[in-house]
Structure 1
Amino acid sequence: MARPAFDPELSALLAEMPLSTELSHEMLQQIRRMPSPPFKTDAERHDVTVGEITLTVFRPRGLERPAPCVYWIHGGGMMMGDRFSQIDIPLQWLEELGVVVVTVEHRLAPEATGTTLVDDCYNGLLWTVENAGELGIGKIVVAGISAGGGLAAGVALMARDLDGPEIAAQVLICPMLDHRNDSTSSRQYSGDPGVWTREMNEFGWRSVLGDRTDVSRYVSPALAEDLSGLPATYVDTGTAEVFRDEDAAYASRIWAAGGDAELHAWAGGFHGFDAIFPAAGLSVQARRTRTDWLARRLV
């Protein structure tokens, strides 16, 4: 199929990376053994275990009054990663906007299946709200990237449906929203090596769902019939990636329900481009635009 080309700078950077078309259980175990990239922060750090999950709280030093909180959910196809994956994104918000960051380490597929992952994330949010006074936080934003973006969307739906915590905004970065994996963009990015292909996406969803036919809207948020009553939403995607169409459709359906959503489809951006190559020109622009939107929502 014809498909949008990658941004030239990003394409050159991507050429230096080893890529594949499909994932296997053997490849998954190899990836899991790789350590998370190191990160630097001057923030105060506190780790806590809540049931089956672990959370880390990062607070700006010298914080004397309640600050907004970003509840962060990492990416990794629902099968990989930990609470420090892509952590540089919310830590940038900590530095620039003075937010507290709470990042959750949920259980992973295929060991955990069904709603387990989104339930873990929601339980971590409940803990955060219950301890808001001790943590020194006010408004809460739910944010995530890729699989974490899909889980963030599921958490926002759960909070709405269960009369749960009030969420001020949700930031969905190239979110993984639709287990059906049958959009035009998913078919465009199939058959050739890439960062995240249709074949990889199928492997990820199968790891979570198996042969289930009763898929929960909290796991696959695109199934939610009603997208009204959601918090202000930022949806970020690239034009050259599998999730482009499901992400654009999600934003469009929020508008159709009378909601507040802002959609950015970055021309030539592949999946997770600004997380992988944050210094590239398009990445800098995408991060700046996203941060500015969040700053307005936190006023």
Structure 2
Amino acid sequence: MANTDIHPELRSAARFTPRKLIYPWTLPILRRLTGLQRPDNDGVEVLTLESGVGVRLYRPTGTATTTPALLWIHGGGYVLGTAAQDDVLCRRFVKELGITVASVDYRLAPEHPYPAPLEDCYDALQWLARLPGVDPDRIAIGGASAGGGLTAALALWARDHDGVKPVFQLLVYPMIDDRSVGSHLEDAGHRLWNPASNAFGWKAYLGGADPEVAAPARRTDLAGLPPAWLGVGTLDLFHDEDLDYAERLRAAGVPCQVHVVPGAFHGFDGIVAKADISTAFFYSQCDSLRESFGG
């Protein structure tokens, strides 16, 4: 692929963005670096649920009534990351929509493979619905990359279990298929995440689990899921699997808005957050969330 195939707003950043990031030998280093970061807890409630799951809670100011809520799930290939990494994004959702946002610190693979991370997200969802000031009938779930994969899995899990039923799922370039499907797997435009990293992440997450159950893209029955928004770039490793999933959602009768960003690689909106395409990507999510909340 020629450099010109990368979106003009992303070309400068692409030169300094690694094509691959997470491998077995880099994971301990990246985790140590993450542990050295000190999050800004100003205005954030840092909580530990009875189940032991950590949550970062962001509330709107000056709101006397109950608000809709978003359960946000961070990315990191199922093996890396913390809720604090998305502080800026969660605060943006609160400011733009006037909602409550809870970001969950789920357990990571390979130490905690499926279903542990998903169970943590489900526990956080149940807790969020009981939180004073939150409207339990207007709760959305969302996440990026592996967080998007957990969002898709959580939507399925919530459908199949008693408890809170999310009204919407926000799937930001979700990691949903362990088979790494598509004809573009070795595309030179990929950044941050490549097939080798994907294979490592999925192996760690699945452990001994049946992928037909654990990987959302392998699920055959998608009926009855909440409406969805799905966004992905054309240079994202997940492009093909994501668009296929969106089509299958629609075929199952689930409304799904798709936002494709030409020339965008994985995680582009976090790397070049102020680019016009990143801003449009964010506001597309906000518009869908606002509509799902009925406002």
Q: TM-score, normalised to structure 2's length?
A: 0.91
Q: CA RMSD in A?
A: 2.4
Structure 1 CA distance for aligned equivalents of residues 21 and 55 of structure 2? 31
Select 2:197's aligned residue among 200, 214, 221: 200
293 and 38 in structure 1: CA distance in 2 versus 1, 3 angstrom threshold: farther
Q: CA deviation at 1:47?
A: 1.6
Superposition pairs of residues 120-135 of structure 1, within 5 angstroms = 120-129=120-129, 131-132=130-131, 134-135=132-133
249 and 4 in structure 1: CA distance in 2 versus 1, 3 angstrom threshold: farther
Runs of 4+ aligned residues of structure 1 deviating over 3 Å after TM superposition are 1-4, 20-23, 35-44, 135-138
Provide the secondary structure at the position in 2 that maps to 1:196: coil
Identity %: 33
**Letter in structure 2 aligned against 1:225:** T
User: Is structure 2 residue 153 aligned with structure 1 residue 154?
Assistant: yes
Partner of 2:169: 170
CA displacement 1:91-124 (0-9 Å, x = unmatched): 2110011010111101101111121111111111
8 Å contact kept, 2:190–2:235: no
Single out whichever of 169-178 and 61-70 deviates more from structure 2: 61-70
List runs of 5+ in structure 1 lacking aligned partners.
Answer: none
CA displacement 1:48-75 (0-9 Å, x = unmatched): 3332311121111232110010001000
Partner of 2:210: 214
Single out whichever of 135-144 and 237-246 deviates more from structure 2: 135-144
List runs of 5+ in structure 2 lacking aligned partners.
Answer: none
Partner of 2:286: 291
8 Å contact kept, 2:34–2:81: no
Partner of 1:269: 264
Q: TM-score, normalised to structure 1's length?
A: 0.90
3 and 165 in structure 1: CA distance in 2 versus 1, 3 angstrom threshold: farther
Structure 1 CA distance for aligned equivalents of residues 42 and 66 of structure 2? 19
User: Is structure 2 residue 73 aligned with structure 1 residue 73?
Assistant: yes
Structure 2 CA distance for aligned equivalents of residues 35 and 141 of structure 1? 28
8 Å contact kept, 2:142–2:148: yes
Q: CA deviation at 1:203?
A: 1.0
Partner of 2:140: 141
8 Å contact kept, 1:4–1:240: no
Structure 2 CA distance for aligned equivalents of residues 193 and 240 of structure 1? 6
Provide the secondary structure at the position in 2 that maps to 1:63: coil
8 Å contact kept, 1:169–1:297: yes
Partner of 1:107: 107
8 Å contact kept, 1:4–1:239: no
Provide the secondary structure at the position in 2 that maps to 1:119: helix
- Figure out how many residues of one structure are paired with residues of the other and give that number: 292
**Letter in structure 2 aligned against 1:277:** V
8 Å contact kept, 2:142–2:169: yes
Structure 1 CA distance for aligned equivalents of residues 69 and 145 of structure 2? 20
Structure 1 CA distance for aligned equivalents of residues 97 and 114 of structure 2? 35
User: Is structure 2 residue 94 aligned with structure 1 residue 94?
Assistant: yes
User: Is structure 2 residue 218 aligned with structure 1 residue 226?
Assistant: no
Provide the secondary structure at the position in 2 that maps to 1:205: helix
232 and 193 in structure 1: CA distance in 2 versus 1, 3 angstrom threshold: closer
8 Å contact kept, 1:144–1:171: yes
**Letter in structure 1 aligned against 2:227:** A
Structure 1 CA distance for aligned equivalents of residues 50 and 270 of structure 2? 28
8 Å contact kept, 1:107–1:120: yes
8 Å contact kept, 1:70–1:90: no
